[in-house]
Structure 1
Amino acid sequence: MYLADSRSTKPAVAPDTGPGRRPAAVPGTVLALGTVSLITDISSEMVTAVLPLYVVAGLGLSPHRGRAFGVHRAMDTTGALLGPLAAFAVLRATVDGYDAVFAVSGCIAALGVLVLVLLVPRRIAPEDTAPPKSGPTLGDSLGLLHRPELRRLTVCAALLGLTTVSDSFLYLLLQRELHLPPHLFPLLPLGTAAAFLLLAIPLGALADRGGRRRLFLAGHGVLLLGYGLLLSPLRGAPVAVAVLVLHGAFYAATDGVLAAATAGAVPAEHQGAGQAPVGTGHALARFACSLAFGAAWSLWGGRTALATAAAALAVSAVVASLVLRTVDGVSV
């Protein structure tokens, strides 16, 4: 999607479509790669979504076992660091680099499925435990929206998701602005992942002390600062590093914090049903934002599209802060 096919004679990055020009049709290869991304994201997010329940209900471990979640998150982030490095190495070492990246990625995915099937137990809880209750239904999730706190969290998550630009678009803008060669493009997510790994723990502790919803809003403010820096006349490697650090800080302040805030808004016995509307609303909103931003890029160009998204994010953050200012008389 972001770099030209290695077998093509066209430039690695196509120029912006100027104002008034008709957007080109989406190539079939882009749709195929998008389908691959969609499927793999569904797979990984399925595991991430049920991990807390699996650790407690499936493995029979105590909830106060925060190490289990910390180890999982650390290993997940390590994978986010190693993936771009592997792509960079493959691009540097091969002639048909893009095809090789896709092939290596497929092999690693197959290895992940093999580990999942062979090493992850179905259930190791003690045999004398009570049988599990039936899972939450769609009606259970929708019924919980009558709770003002959960309803406001759902609205704010969707509102902010609608104005959060996809990571891929942000990296592509960085590459264009700095005129990076194609083989360096995979290293951009590395900066985000490294910043996230360094800031996740301290910002998580800050959320416990200062309020999870407040940190969630502040994280979007940090992202807005990154957008502004990218739109500024400043250029050079330090600007790229600063944008990536701010991007990683955004994820450290929001990834998991929204779920933690949601957990405090619903009874313990309805955690699964309560997480569904907030998480789904946020994910669907970000998907819609990706579609809208891609169309805006085609019509107006990348910088104008980002400026529009930044203005929309600023408005959304203000509205969300007003919505979450008090919930049932309790400050955020």
Structure 2
Amino acid sequence: MLDAIKIERTTSPKARPQDDQLGFGKYFTDHMFIMDYDAAKGWYDPRVVPYQPITLDPASKVFHYGQTVFEGLKAYRTKDGRILLFRPTSNFKRLNKSNDRLSIPALDEELALQALKSLIEVDQDWIPHAEGTSLYIRPFIISTEGSLGVAPSRQYKFMIILSPVGSYYAEGINPVSIHVESEYVRAVAGGVGNAKTAGNYAAGLKAQEGATALGYSQVLWLDGVHRKYIEEVGSMNVFFRIGDKVVTPAINGSILEGITRDTVLQLLNHWNVTVEERRISIDELVEAHQNGSLIEAFGTGTAAVISPIGSLHWNGEKLVIGDGATGELSKKIYDALTGIQKGELEDPFGWTVQL
């Protein structure tokens, strides 16, 4: 039986930033959760400790072979002072899917949720109050065995850190501009594109640098085989409103199965909006833009929630979507989703978990 979670409180609490200074991922709370794994013992010693550096052997496999996975979710403060988590069990289920792909031992998902709740209870005063803010939660696992043999590690650390955040994009709910990548490839089916692992994001940095240099917020990836089918934005899944339908790329083995993506699909079905999950080519999207049927586009993800897309940059041309403003459906989804997350709207789906 796994040890009970031990709690060690800090004796040197940090100064907390003002809500209007948060940005994204710049500040971290007073405590973190750690649990260790050894092949001979399994997962052991779950504990909440003061936020601190960790010491690793220089030969730790995470440094050399990238055996690591992570998740991202949020906690919200309601107007009446309650603390709500949004679909946390889905995040830990997905973490275990990533674990399986990266040959990392599975976590007990109930224990992981208990660990998260224990950590948030200790650091609950860090949850910001201002509109558009939340407590971002980053669970992750790293391989720590000090050995240079190319094989799965026999030792790991599972950790959770917390960060009070504002908007992921400086634009907030205002539309972002996206560059469609034509040179680099992020992932292919059979690879690790559908796992939330560090290498996927490292593979996108070069393209992101190019997009930033051109003045665009993010990269829209095309498939790695035909180089024409739309996959996802660097930090988001993507949706397009074409005519009277909403179209999103189907899960195909190289696209992350976004929890916000699934949430939006459930909302749209609940509203009886016609949704198609299928392959969609960049040529089809350009044609829809040219004939006026491309009404709006938006990205979905935990960090940004809903991010309207005002324009796409493709083959040297800027395709302004709609009038470049936030679309009607994008705003409706954002309001509904954030309303449920903040406890201001009814949650008929059972998505929120109260601490």
Specify if TM > 0.5. Answer: no
Give the TM-score, by structure 2 length: 0.26
**1 or 2, which has the higher helix percentage?**
1
Higher relative contact order (CA 8 A, sep 6+): 1
TM-score using structure 1 length = 0.27
